[in-house]
């Protein structure tokens, strides 16, 4: 759950730099967000606090947090020393959450948006952090009824962390294309693959593709400017799609839609982690990495929002448009040497279709987004009296 920043801006920035300088390299953590649903109507339901109370004293308690609205819940793996451990924790957390919601009569879904529930009916959870965000953002935060998956990759060295963050910028479109799962929102068939990204990144300030920074000092100057001008008063108000986290010594990749399928979520997290490790190795060995201007990344970003894996992306080295699927396959080929060393290669895969493509295909068969969504919902299991 988001907490109000307790350190002064100077203390927060100094803490973050020191934490990066002393980080355990390439640990990993994964956070998954889920929609809480009424099992009869499949509407979003404001039940987070009840579930939080019910989790008290259980193993899940410390790994379960709130995320903006009371009809949303997040589970965290916690810090894992290897990706194999994170892979197992992701399955374990989903199972623990499933048991919790079953006992409380709540259904779950993991798509980037809910297909029809009104944002006007969702309640912001009552914490200092989220009360502050509502005060600052108003309509912008009210509309953000969206669900994602975030991956934290620990990087030792403040300058090195900024360089890894810079490198991730270039592949945000590919990661979004792979993860897109939100074709329906506000009772509309949007024609998009990631309506979540369009809503979130186009409305929030300091969101989407960040600038590339020359190093920690360059990044720190910008952060200090934001604090000194009152533009931010908490470090989490940098909502970029990839960011150096100022509370943990991690680079956090935040671009991806929530994943209905556990296997897809695990494979996606494995690719994100492997990319971070491959970027770090390239930096250590002096291997050149591209530094694309934001305007070019944005071109592919839009393509990912609109057509996901089924469309094309611009290869800026050649100037050609290539299939998005091929771009993702090339990323997997590029990370493979590091993935073998870290034992993540076995988790990497490109699905036949992303979740949005599967939903569109099913829509053609059943004719209703509500029916498509219903098939993706985990409902409470029937209990024998």
In a domain, 383, yes or no: no
- Three-state secondary structure call for residue 239: strand
CA 159 – CA 346 distance, rounded (Å) = 31
CA 153 – CA 79 distance, rounded (Å) = 9
The answer to whether 357 touches 348, Cβ cutoff 8 Å, is no
Q: What value does the mean pLDDT take over residues 76-84?
A: 98
The domain total for the chain is 1
- pLDDT at res. 5: 75
Torsion-angle region of 57 (φ positive above 0: left; ψ -120 to 50: alpha; else: beta): left
In a domain, 1, yes or no: no
Q: What value does the mean pLDDT take over residues 120-135?
A: 92
In a domain, 225, yes or no: yes
CA 332 – CA 336 distance, rounded (Å) = 6
Q: What value does the mean pLDDT take over residues 156-168?
A: 98
- pLDDT at res. 6: 83
pLDDT at 171 exceeding the cut of 90: yes
**For position 269, which CATH number holds?**
3.30.590.20
pLDDT at 382 exceeding the cut of 70: no
Domain of residue 307: give its range.
9-376
CA 58 – CA 70 distance, rounded (Å) = 20
As given in the structure block, the two tokens for residue 271 are 């690719």
In a domain, 382, yes or no: no
Q: Distance of alpha carbon 21 from its chain centroid, rounded?
A: 25
Closest CA to 119 of 192, 38, 195, 44: 44
Residues whose CB falls within 8 Å of the CB of residue 218, separated by 6 or more in sequence, listed in order = 162
As given in the structure block, the two tokens for residue 250 are 């991690």
In a domain, 385, yes or no: no
Q: Which segments of the chain does DSSP mark as H helices, in order?
A: 9-21, 48-54, 83-104, 128-137, 139-142, 158-179, 195-203, 216-228, 262-285, 294-307, 324-341, 355-366, 369-376
In a domain, 320, yes or no: yes
pLDDT tens string 7-41: 999 999 999 999 999 999 999 999 999 999 999 99
């Amino acid at each position: 759950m988001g907490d109000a920043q307790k350190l002064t801006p100077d203390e927060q920035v100094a803490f973050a730099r020191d934490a990066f300088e002393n980080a355990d390299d390439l640990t990993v953590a994964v956070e998954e967000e889920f929609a809480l649903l009424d099992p009869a109507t499949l509407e979003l339901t404001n039940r987070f606090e009840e579930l939080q109370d019910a989790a008290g004293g259980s193993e899940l308690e410390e790994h379960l947090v709130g995320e903006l609205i009371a009809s949303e819940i997040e589970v965290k793996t916690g810090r894992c020393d290897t990706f194999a451990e994170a892979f197992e924790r992701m399955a374990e957390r989903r199972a623990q959450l499933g048991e919790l919601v079953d006992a409380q009569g709540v259904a779950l879904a993991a798509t980037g948006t809910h297909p029809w529930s009104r944002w006007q009916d969702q309640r912001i959870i009552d914490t200092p952090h989220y009360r502050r965000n509502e005060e600052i953002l108003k309509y912008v935060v009210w509309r953000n009824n969206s669900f994602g998956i975030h991956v934290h990759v620990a990087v030792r060295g403040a300058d090195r962390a900024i360089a890894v963050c810079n490198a991730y910028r270039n592949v945000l479109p590919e990661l979004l294309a792979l993860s897109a799962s939100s074709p329906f929102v506000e009772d509309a068939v949007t024609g998009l693959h990631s309506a979540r990204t369009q809503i979130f990144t186009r409305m929030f300030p300091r969101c989407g593709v960040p600038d590339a920074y020359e190093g920690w000092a360059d990044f720190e100057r910008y952060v200090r400017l934001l604090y000194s001008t009152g533009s931010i008063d908490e470090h989490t108000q940098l909502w970029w799609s990839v960011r150096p986290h100022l509370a943990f010594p991690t680079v956090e990749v935040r671009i991806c839609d929530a994943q209905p399928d556990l296997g897809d979520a695990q494979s996606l997290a494995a690719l994100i982690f492997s990319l971070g490790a491959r970027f770090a190795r390239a930096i250590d060995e002096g291997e050149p990495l591209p530094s694309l201007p934001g305007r070019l990344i944005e071109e592919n970003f839009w393509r990912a929002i609109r057509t996901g894996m089924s469309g094309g992306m611009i290869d800026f080295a050649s100037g050609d448009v290539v299939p998005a699927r091929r771009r993702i396959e090339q990323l997997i080929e590029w990370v493979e040497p590091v993935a073998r060393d870290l034992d993540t290669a076995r988790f990497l895969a490109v699905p036949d279709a992303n979740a949005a493509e599967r939903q569109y295909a099913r829509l053609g068969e059943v004719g209703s987004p509500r029916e498509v969504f219903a098939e993706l919902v985990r409902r409470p299991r029937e209990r024998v009296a």
